């Protein structure tokens, strides 16, 4: 075993081997993978191997499609045969909302070059001859779905990496990790020590154990997931080599596919079961949990009714294996704050389907400092310190139960809440506020009043039951005094004799003078938007930086990673927990009394509360961009039409300046614009597609209804030549194209007169 490498990957499952393979593809070949048992000994060996492209998330769709494209050519590329069956798949819709979800995903997928299709019941039956289509409204067909042998996939990735120069050491358990004085990582194993510049934690459900070796807590719990494999079924034997498409019945919550001449049935059951709450047994490897088919009975019955041949076969095998879950079910991928060169790539619940894309993303983090795609939903910094063990468990179980739930645009799921409350929480609750959690903080989303709520669901792709509540709250903001409790903003205090000069290099715009406030954008070296902060200069070399609640770890990491080394010229202090925010910002302990005083004073004028949903509508009308919705690392401030916040000729320079010079010279390929949409009963959800004639020309990054303007609004990036007010385009909403006209921002109060009043 070599004693030094550029990168060490810990864990030889599908994900670790993919990370290793992708590193070598980027030319980083001085790499070593350490596996405590055999390759695939964790969750990989027993996975069902389903490889969907489908996801309601734009990012995951991209990630999974990278995987399926890679899987199709990997065997040949590296000279290792893989059983990979591209059978196509059908998802069934029992409800109108599910059909709406399908329509939304079909259009997203098309924008990524993936042709999904909506099938009628007759078309479903034609593709799957053993399925009853009674009570089915429609199906979604993914021609590129299928199943892969996870062990062969892992071995092929390992072979490709080895052939390019990587070393793989099996039966090599990492037992300790420390940082050397030179800033490298010293990794101790049962077979010796290896030192490296970078480490990737790809230890699957043991990702938390590896993180603990460097003093970090990762929010991961292990749940059990089961599938059954049947004996051969004569009808399938009779079909010879022909394979059925993979079937998913998300409204019932199971998948079913052909395995040799039998079927696999895998439910995501309500009785989600957690294991190892007090630690993972050291000896567990290449093992399964005991069968627990009692949990699956209802699902087996439903599946037999849907595909009667399933009920004719005996069960050959039950696979009940460990599957790691972070609170939201997405993996933890990205840099570990405060640990330069240490990365996570673990906690995958769909780690076969995502292995290819995840390997690309993490390899780019390590090799280039940033991945090509903005993968915030997977970013290991998205969970804040409140995501402790109990929270993670509650949320993971809820996520497992909703694994096939409908991906509504706005849904506030209850598990693990409340985690963090402002002092005004109980006051607002007593007034009937409905809450949503943002960065763990309970924030009122709206305040229903008698007569407000119309019949209909609280969550929907169409206008939900609370539409009238939001209209009332927006009107109140427009006409009277209104108050919003907005706890949890991320806040940093930056001080020190070098503070001004340092901030000047960090932001693309101008650092405000003492007593002034300015909105500022922090760019990556490639010009992409890393974060947005409101910078206030309290005095010379003393600043307050305020950003989104969810970005606390992410933003702190970015700031600290760029601090000048040595000395005390710049100090960054995270003061988020110390201060709350109403409309005005004040010391926390006074929030409740300030709230009461505002109400007392406002009652004479007719004061109202309002919530986040109203705020979202108000900001759409003002075209204020939302971080990680409208602003991501895939867009620069010039694309985001934020030119006025970029000082391209700043003499001292700033991070990303050169990339923005280059972009300014040719002009950005896309520009951010508001669109006024002729919507019917559904507004444009994020990642709706913008068309000019039959050509896709842009992407909606957020949308909704503007209650003061009485118009449906979408904020979108469109091809630059079309980003001209008055241009007529179309936005695809739930399968239909709606006329959309490019507006001039801000749509509401264009002269900002009310803002300045
Ligand atoms: C029943 C079941 C069916 C599934 N079906 C599917 C499916 O159809 N499609 C899909 O996409 N996903 C599926 N999954 C999920 C999938 O199995 C996992 O997401 C995937 O295998 C995770 O891969 P990984 O490489 O991240 O982790 P693992 O495969 O768990 O690999 C982690 C590796 O790290 C090693 N390791 C841990 N600690 C150390 C240490 N200290 N030193 C050295 N090495 C260490 C382990 O030994 C292990 O080999 C299923 C899961 C289950 C339980």
Residues at CB less than 6 angstroms from ligand 1: 10-16, 34-37, 41-44, 46-50, 173-174, 202-206, 210, 225-227, 285, 319, 321-323, 346, 348-353
* Closest residue CA from atom 2 of ligand 1: 47
- d(CA 318, ligand 1 centre) in Å: 18
Cis peptide before 112 (omega within 30 of 0): no
With residue 553 as reference, give the H or E element that holds it. helix 552-561
Per the CB < 8 A criterion, the answer to whether 627 and 530 are in contact is no
Neighbours of 278 (CB within 10 A): 6
* Closest residue CA from atom 19 of ligand 1: 351
Q: What is the pLDDT of residue 483?
A: 84
Please provide residue 587's backbone torsions phi and psi, each rounded to the nearest 5 degrees.
Answer: -60, 140
Q: What is the pLDDT of residue 498?
A: 96
Q: What is the pLDDT of residue 396?
A: 98
**CA 347 to ligand 1: nearest atom:** 26
Q: What is the pLDDT of residue 589?
A: 61
- d(CA 301, ligand 1 centre) in Å: 29
* Closest residue CA from atom 26 of ligand 1: 204
- d(CA 42, ligand 1 centre) in Å: 5
**CA 41 to ligand 1: nearest atom:** 49
Residue with tokens 């490639």: 526
Q: What is the pLDDT of residue 459?
A: 86
Best residue among 323, 359, 361, 404 to mutate for probing ligand 1's pocket (most ligand atoms within 8 Å of CB) is 323
- d(CA 13, ligand 1 centre) in Å: 6
Q: What is the pLDDT of residue 640?
A: 98
Q: What is the pLDDT of residue 481?
A: 76
- d(CA 121, ligand 1 centre) in Å: 36
* Closest residue CA from atom 51 of ligand 1: 47
How many helices and strands in the chain, by DSSP H and E? 18, 36
106-134 pLDDT, tens digit per residue, is 988 988 889 999 999 999 999 999 999 98
What is the spatial distance between Cα 360 and Cα 25, in angstroms, rounded to a whole number?
9
- d(CA 203, ligand 1 centre) in Å: 8
- d(CA 581, ligand 1 centre) in Å: 42
**CA 42 to ligand 1: nearest atom:** 30
Per the CB < 8 A criterion, the answer to whether 84 and 148 are in contact is yes
Best residue among 161, 204, 220, 343 to mutate for probing ligand 1's pocket (most ligand atoms within 8 Å of CB) is 204
Q: What is the DSSP string of 388-456?
A: -HHHHHHHHHHHHHTTTS---SS----TT--SB--TTHHHHHHTT-EEEEETTEEEEEE---TTTPPSS
- d(CA 349, ligand 1 centre) in Å: 8
**CA 18 to ligand 1: nearest atom:** 25
- d(CA 221, ligand 1 centre) in Å: 13
- d(CA 19, ligand 1 centre) in Å: 14
Q: What is the pTM of this model?
A: 0.95
Q: Which 3-state string (H, E, C) describes 588-644?
A: HHHHHHHHHHHHHHHHHHCCEECCHHHHHHHHHHHCCCCECCCECCCCCCCCCCCHH
509-540 pLDDT, tens digit per residue, is 999 999 999 999 999 999 999 999 999 999 99
* Closest residue CA from atom 3 of ligand 1: 47
Residue with tokens 């050509």: 695
- d(CA 204, ligand 1 centre) in Å: 5
* Closest residue CA from atom 35 of ligand 1: 11
Q: What is the pLDDT of residue 7?
A: 98
**CA 154 to ligand 1: nearest atom:** 25
Structure tokens given for 336: 């570990």
**CA 348 to ligand 1: nearest atom:** 19
**CA 11 to ligand 1: nearest atom:** 34
* Closest residue CA from atom 14 of ligand 1: 47
Closest CA relative to residue 617, chosen from 474, 502, 728: 474
- d(CA 353, ligand 1 centre) in Å: 12
Below-70 pLDDT ranges, the chain: 453-455, 580-587, 589-590, 757
Q: What is the pLDDT of residue 598?
A: 82
Best residue among 13, 171, 267 to mutate for probing ligand 1's pocket (most ligand atoms within 8 Å of CB) is 13
Beta bridge partners of 700: 716
- d(CA 324, ligand 1 centre) in Å: 8
Strand-pair category, 579-581 with 585-587: antiparallel
**CA 345 to ligand 1: nearest atom:** 26
- d(CA 336, ligand 1 centre) in Å: 21
- DSSP helix/strand/coil, 652: coil
* Closest residue CA from atom 16 of ligand 1: 351
* Closest residue CA from atom 21 of ligand 1: 44
Q: What is the pLDDT of residue 402?
A: 96
Closest CA relative to residue 191, chosen from 167, 173, 203, 210: 173
* Closest residue CA from atom 31 of ligand 1: 13
* Closest residue CA from atom 18 of ligand 1: 351
What is the spatial distance between Cα 714 and Cα 63, in angstroms, rounded to a whole number?
25
- d(CA 14, ligand 1 centre) in Å: 7
């Amino acid at each position: 075993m070599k004693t030094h490498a550029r990168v060490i990957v810990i864990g030889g499952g599908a994900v670790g081997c993919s990370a290793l393979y992708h590193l070598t593809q980027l030319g980083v070949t001085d790499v070593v993978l350490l596996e405590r048992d055999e390759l695939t000994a964790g969750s990989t060996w027993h996975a069902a191997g389903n490889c969907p492209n489908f996801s309601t998330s734009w990012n995951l769709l991209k990630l999974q499609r990278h995987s399926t494209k890679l899987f199709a050519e990997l065997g040949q590329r590296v000279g290792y045969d893989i059983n990979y069956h591209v059978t196509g798949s059908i998802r069934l819709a029992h409800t109108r909302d599910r059909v709406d979800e399908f329509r939304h995903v079909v259009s997203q997928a098309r924008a990524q070059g993936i042709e999904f299709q909506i099938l009628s019941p007759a078309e479903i039956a034609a593709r799957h001859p053993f399925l009853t289509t009674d009570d089915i409204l429609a199906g979604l067909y993914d021609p590129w779905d299928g199943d892969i042998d996870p062990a062969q996939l892992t071995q092929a990735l390992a072979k490709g990496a080895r052939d390019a120069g990587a070393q793989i050491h099996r039966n090599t358990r990492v037992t300790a990790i420390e940082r050397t004085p030179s800033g490298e990582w010293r990794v101790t194993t049962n077979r010796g020590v290896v030192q490296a510049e970078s480490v990737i934690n790809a230890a699957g459900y043991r990702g938390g154990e590896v993180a603990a070796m460097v003093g970090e807590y990762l929010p991961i719990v292990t749940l059990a997931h089961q599938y059954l494999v049947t004996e051969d079924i004569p009808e399938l034997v009779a079909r010879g080599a022909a394979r059925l498409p993979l079937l998913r019945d998300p409204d019932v919550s199971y998948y079913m596919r052909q395995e040799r001449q039998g079927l696999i049935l895998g439910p995501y059951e309500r009785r989600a079961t957690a294991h190892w709450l007090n630690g993972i047994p050291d000896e567990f490897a290449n093992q399964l949990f005991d069968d627990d088919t009692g949990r699956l009975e209802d699902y087996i019955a439903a599946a037999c009714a849907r595909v009667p041949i399933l009920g004719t076969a005996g069960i050959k095998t039950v696979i009940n294996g460990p599957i790691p879950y972070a609170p939201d079910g997405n993996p933890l991928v990205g840099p570990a704050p405060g640990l330069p060169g240490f990365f996570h790539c673990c906690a995958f619940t769909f780690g076969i389907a995502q292995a290819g894309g995840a390997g690309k993303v993490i390899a780019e983090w390590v090799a280039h400092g940033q991945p090509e795609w903005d993968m915030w939903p997977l970013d290991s910094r998205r969970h804040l310190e409140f995501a402790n063990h109990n929270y993670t468990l509650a949320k993971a179980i809820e996520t497992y139960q909703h694994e096939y739930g409908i991906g509504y645009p706005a849904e506030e799921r209850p598990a693990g809440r409340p985690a963090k409350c402002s002092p005004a929480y109980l006051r607002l609750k007593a007034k009937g506020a409905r809450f949503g959690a943002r960065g763990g903080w309970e924030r009122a989303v709206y305040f229903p009043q008698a007569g407000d709520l119309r019949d209909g669901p609280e969550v929907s792709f169409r206008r939900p039951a609370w539409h009238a509540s939001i209209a009332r709250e927006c009107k109140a903001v427009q006409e009277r005094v209104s108050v919003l409790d907005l706890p949890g903003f991320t806040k940093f205090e930056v001080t020190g004799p070098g503070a001004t000069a340092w901030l000047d290099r960090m932001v693309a715009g101008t650092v405000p003078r003492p007593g002034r406030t300015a909105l500022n954008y922090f760019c990556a070296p490639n010009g992409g938007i890393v974060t947005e902060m409101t910078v206030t200069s309290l005095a010379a070399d003393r600043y307050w930086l305020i950003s989104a609640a969810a970005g606390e770890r992410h933003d702190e990491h970015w700031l600290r990673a760029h601090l000048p080394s040595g000395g005390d010229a710049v100090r960054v202090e995270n003061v988020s927990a110390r201060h709350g925010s109403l409309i005005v910002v004040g010391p926390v302990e006074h929030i409740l009394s300030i709230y009461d005083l505002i109400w007392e004073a406002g009652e004479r004028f007719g004061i109202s509360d309002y919530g986040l949903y109203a705020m979202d509508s108000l900001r759409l009308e003002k075209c204020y961009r939302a971080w990680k919705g409208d602003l991501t690392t895939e867009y620069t401030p010039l694309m985001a039409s934020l030119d006025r916040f970029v000082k391209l000729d700043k003499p001292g320079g700033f991070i990303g300046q050169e990339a923005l010079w280059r972009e300014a010279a040719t002009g950005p390929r896309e520009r951010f614009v508001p669109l006024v949409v002729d919507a019917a009963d559904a507004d444009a959800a994020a990642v709706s597609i913008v068309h000019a004639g039959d050509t896709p020309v842009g992407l909606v990054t957020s949308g909704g209804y503007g209650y003061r303007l009485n118009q449906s609004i979408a904020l979108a990036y469109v091809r630059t030549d079309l980003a001209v007010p008055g241009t007529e385009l179309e936005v695809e909403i739930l399968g239909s194209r709606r006329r959309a006209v490019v507006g001039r921002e801000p749509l509401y109060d264009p002269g900002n007169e009310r803002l300045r009043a």
